Amino acid sequence: MEQWKQTPTSANTGGIALPAGLAGTYAILISFTQFFLPVFFEGDLGFSGAQIGLLYAGLSITSVIASFPAGLSTDRITPRMVILGSLILLSAASAGLGIVRSFWVYLLVFILFGTAINVFQISLYSHTFKILDPERRGRGIGAFMAVRMIGFGLGTLGGGYLLMLLDFPKTLLLLAGGSLVMAAVCLALPRLPAAKTTLSEYRADFLRPKVLLFALWLFLFSSHWGAENTSYGLFLKKNLDLSLVGMGWYMTLEFVMFSATAYVVGVMGDRGRSLSAILIAGLLLSGVGHLLMVIPILPVSLFFRALHGIGDGAVSIVMYLGVMRMFLPERIGGNSGIVGLILMSGTLVGALVFGPMGEHFGYALPLIVSGAVTLALIPFPLVAMKRKRAGQAADPVD
């Protein structure tokens, strides 16, 4: 595929320090509760596995619907204002999650919560994609992701302690207040120029064979996030018998490994290393780590979860570099919104399948199956490497 280059006006319009800082702060605040929510749903609120699956399915459906409009608005308006609106909505929804108890009302509030999260992430990524220097975008996105994942690690670790001290409702109210502070800070982001785009241009961007193949791969890979959303926390609690603090320490190691890998892989991308080869290694580690973390011996499980973090770090950076290489900067917001739609669709399917599976067959099985699905994706980059060696057009990520 032709690798479309960024235009000079898209780069060097503000640096990534503030966007990365927002990403890291958001990650700290959201992970105070995000990975522990299934435990709260089952234990404090008494929701069934099917209900938990429905919560995440509803979240995913709405996020799918919102993804493209959110990305499109960052091209036609400015990412800064979309980020501001999403943070205000996140604050209101977080407060609602701390107050509501009825399942059907909770479902509505949770959908708003998930929509706010998705719109925030798409708009912040769009802003970041637009300002990265084309010659150093690997380092840029690697540093951005590293800060973000360090935030997830710190927040998850701190969340275990916070939840013991404050309980879930008070911690959700803390998230609501923190989101408002972030909304004020995001006004310092530079106002990027809007672009005149048409829906037909986005359609033409995406309806190319290699982009469609890339989209299929993204859909299948993201299904393992549905397993994590519905089964990961409950596996740690019920199978490994970890406390909330123990869960925080367990999850933090993965984020540390992800962060280090993200930056290293970003640098490797700038230096011209084969992204297909990195992707193969990442899928292998991610899949094996997910599959074998279910061994109910804590040090062994923790080791394989760390491998999964390394693999996910490598895959994620290759994914975002692929997005930046495939799409023009003036339309990267809308196209990244379509990518977000695909990722959320995969997560939705994963939640629908793996939520009930975990409840009926144990919380280890969804992790095993989703790990196997990840391993099954390795032939995608293998075929791309063979085509490149045969002199055919390079894969979008190479």
Note the pLDDT of residue 32. 82
67, containing H or E segment: helix 49-76
Give the C-alpha separation, 314 to 142, whole Å: 10
The tokens of 133 are what?
Answer: 């220097």
The three-point CA angle 9-128-7 to 5° equals 20
Reduce the secondary structure of 309-357 to three states and give it as a string.
HHHHHHHHHHHHHHHHHHCCHHHHHHHHHHHHHHHHHHHHHHHHHHHHH
pLDDT in tens, 91-144: 999 999 989 888 999 999 999 998 899 899 999 998 898 888 877 888 899 999
The tokens of 329 are what?
Answer: 């900067």
pLDDT beyond 60 at 58: yes
Note the pLDDT of residue 338. 87
Note the pLDDT of residue 159. 81
Q: Which of 130-139, 142-151, 287-296 has the lowest mean pLDDT?
A: 130-139
Average the pLDDT over 202-207 and give the result.
87
Note the pLDDT of residue 398. 54
Q: What is the largest CA-CA distance in the chain?
A: 61
pLDDT beyond 80 at 206: yes
Average the pLDDT over 169-179 and give the result.
92
pLDDT beyond 90 at 280: yes
Asked whether the whole model's pTM tops 0.85, one would answer: no
Give the C-alpha separation, 326 to 338, whole Å: 13
Note the pLDDT of residue 287. 95
Termini Cα distance of the chain: 9
Looking at residue 207, what DSSP letter applies? -
Average the pLDDT over 2-9 and give the result.
38
Counting every residue written for the chain, the total comes to: 398
- Selecting from 3.40.50.1980, 1.20.1250.20, 2.60.40.10, 2.40.160.100, what CATH number does the domain 15-189+198-389 have? 1.20.1250.20
Mean per-residue pLDDT of the chain: 86
- 10 Å CB burial of residue 166 (0-12, 13-18, 19+) is middle
- Packed helices 298-326 and 275-292: angle between N→C axes, nearest 10 degrees: 150
pLDDT in tens, 339-376: 888 888 888 888 888 888 988 899 999 999 999 999 99
pLDDT beyond 70 at 2: no
Note the pLDDT of residue 397. 56
pLDDT band at 12 (very low <50, low <70, confident <90, very high): very low
Note the pLDDT of residue 248. 80
Measure Cα distances from 42 to 51, 55, 237, 244, 361 in Å. Answer: 9, 12, 11, 14, 16
- 10 Å CB burial of residue 169 (0-12, 13-18, 19+) is middle
Of the two residues 392 and 266, the one the predictor is more confident about is 266
The tokens of 213 are what?
Answer: 């193949």
pLDDT beyond 80 at 265: yes
Neighbours of 184 (CB within 10 A): 10
Give the C-alpha separation, 253 to 141, whole Å: 21
Radius of gyration of the chain, Cα coordinates, nearest whole angstrom: 20
Average the pLDDT over 234-262 and give the result.
88
- Among the listed residues 30, 172, 175, 176, the one whose alpha carbon sits nearest the alpha carbon of residue 101: 172
pLDDT beyond 80 at 8: no
Note the pLDDT of residue 288. 96
Note the pLDDT of residue 13. 43
pLDDT beyond 90 at 25: yes
Q: Which residue has the tokens 């970003």?
A: 266
Give the C-alpha separation, 189 to 287, whole Å: 37
Q: Which of 76-90, 106-120, 140-154, 324-338 has the lowest mean pLDDT?
A: 324-338
Give the C-alpha separation, 239 to 294, whole Å: 8
